[in-house]
Amino acid sequence: MRNVRPMVRRDMSGILYEVATPIGNLDDLSRRAVSVLSSVETIAAEDTRRTGRLLSDLGIPRRDLAALHDHNENQVGPILIEKLKAGQDIALVSDAGTPLVSDPGFELVRSAWQEGIRVVPIPGASAVSAALSVCPLPAQDYRFVGFLPARSATRKARLTELLDLTCAVVFFEAPHRIEETLAVLNELAPERRLMIGRELTKLFETCLAGRPADLLEQLRANNQVRGEFVCVLEAGESKGISAEANRVLKTLCAELPPATAAKLTAEICGGRKADYYPLAVALKGV
- Tens of pLDDT, residues 16-52: 999 999 999 999 999 999 999 999 999 999 999 999 9
pLDDT band at 236 (very low <50, low <70, confident <90, very high): confident
Q: Residue 71 above 80 pLDDT?
A: yes
**Residue 2 domain-assigned (yes or no):** no
Kindly report the average pLDDT of the chain as a whole number: 90
Q: Mark which of 75, 100, 125 sits at the end of a domain.
A: 125
Q: Mark which of 67, 93, 125 sits at the end of a domain.
A: 125
Q: Are residues 215 and 141 part of one domain?
A: yes
Q: What is the pLDDT of residues 97-142, one digit of tens each?
A: 999 988 899 999 999 999 999 999 999 999 999 999 999 999 999 9
**Residue 186 domain-assigned (yes or no):** yes
Q: Are residues 209 and 181 part of one domain?
A: yes
For 61, other C-beta atoms within 10 Å of its C-beta total 7
The number of angstroms, rounded, from the C-alpha of 171 to the middle of its chain's C-alpha atoms is 7
Contacts of 99 (CB under 8 A, 6+ apart): 18, 19, 20, 92, 93, 105
Split into its structural domains, the chain has a count of 3
Q: Mark which of 69, 97, 125 sits at the end of a domain.
A: 125
At 280 the pLDDT is 86
Q: Are residues 84 and 174 part of one domain?
A: no
CB 265, CB 249: distance < 8 Å: yes
Q: Are residues 98 and 52 part of one domain?
A: yes
Q: Are residues 247 and 199 part of one domain?
A: no
Angle formed at CA 104 by CA 165 and CA 204, multiple of 5 degrees? 70
pLDDT band at 284 (very low <50, low <70, confident <90, very high): confident
At 286 the pLDDT is 53
What is the span of the domain harbouring residue 254?
243-284
**Residue 6 domain-assigned (yes or no):** no
Q: Are residues 261 and 227 part of one domain?
A: no
**Residue 1 domain-assigned (yes or no):** no
Q: What percent of the chain has pLDDT over 90?
A: 76
* CATH number (domain holding residue 89): 3.40.1010.10
Between 63 and 58, residue with greater pLDDT: 58
Whether the predicted model's global pTM rises above the 0.85 cut: no
Q: In angstroms, rounded to a whole number, what is the distance separating the alpha carbons of residues 255 and 250?
A: 9
Task: Report the length, in residues, of the chain.
Answer: 286
